[in-house]
Amino acid sequence: MNNNENIEVKNENKIISVLKGIGIFLALLLSYLLVPQFVGLFVYSVFKLNETISMFIGNVSYAIILIVVYFKMFKEKIVNYYKNFALFFGDTLKLWGIGLLVMFISNLFLAYVVFGGEVASNEAVNRAYILENPITGFILVALLAPFVEEMIFRYGLRKLTGKSKYFPLVSAIVFGVPHIIAGISLPFGVDDLLQFLYVIPYGALGYVFGYIYNKTDNIFCSMSAHFMHNFMCFMVILLFV
């Protein structure tokens, strides 16, 4: 095989890899947008449960599907995480602390300087849900959200972008924007558009989670940082808000 043929084969493999990455990311994202809603609606219609419980079951169902589909990968990464626990956890804790500091400072500035003491719309929605539904709120916010979001915005997105130095930044933006949109109702007003400034604190964590995943190549490292963060936020809301 000559050099030109080698180049052609490499280019074909690269294209196939990119297309595969696009497929994996879109499959994870679209299934997240559709499966919980479909299952929740089915449970709500057939079993006549209330809307909150129905959507909770829908989200749990989606997490179970992810576990089944990626069971082999999870098993390998758990073993790797256990073998390197001291190193992984130390790096994770340090990097999460940096991200948390940036998020805290930028949140304070935006809340009190830009928005006159009001928190981000998405944060307000989460607070209301947790205070009204502490049990399902804990499972969804502290457990399921970190698991599902890391699979989409870290594992799935890196399949699309590849393991590059730009991945943490891409991850930060793609992770931050949906969190903002989730708390905004259409049509957008000027105040709603200003909410997009919150991409800075959300993106700070997204960047850290992406950096952790790039550095360790283990999704459970970014998941553990995300678990710690959401658990801390849940307890602060439950105890002090």
Residue 83 is predicted with a pLDDT of 96
Asked if residue 187 has a cis previous peptide bond (ω within 30° of 0), the answer is yes
Other beta carbons within 10 angstroms of residue 39's beta carbon come to 19
Give the domain ranges of the chain: 1-69, 71-240
**Local mean pLDDT, 10-residue blocks, the chain (241 residues):** 61 80 94 96 94 95 97 97 95 94 94 87 88 95 96 95 92 91 71 86 95 96 96 93 77
Quick one: angle between helices 167-181 and 121-132, nearest 10?
70
Residue 120 is predicted with a pLDDT of 83
Question: What is the DSSP secondary-structure string of the chain?
Answer: --HHHHHHHHHHHHHHHHHHHHHHHHHHHHHHHHHHHHHHHHHHHHH---HHHHHHHHHHHHHHHHHHHTHHHHHHHHHHHHHTHHHHHHHHHHHHHHHHHHHHHHHHHIIIIISTTPPPHHHHHHHHHHHH-HHHHIIIIIIIHHHHHHIIIIIIHHHHH-S-TTHHHHHHHHHHHHHHHTT-PSSP-HHHHHGGGGHHHHHHHHHHHHHHHHHH--HHHHHHHHHHHHHHHHHHHHHH-
Place of tokens 């209301």: 128
Contacts of 136 (CB under 8 A, 6+ apart): 52, 53, 56
Residue 1 is predicted with a pLDDT of 54
Burial 126-156, CB ≥16 within 10 A → b, else e? bbebbeebeebbbbbbbbbbbbbbbbbbbbb
pTM score, whole prediction: 0.92
Contacts of residues 66-75 at CB distance under 8 Å and 24 or more positions apart, as own/partner, are: 66/147, 66/148, 66/151, 70/151, 73/219
Residue 4 is predicted with a pLDDT of 61
Residue 18 is predicted with a pLDDT of 83
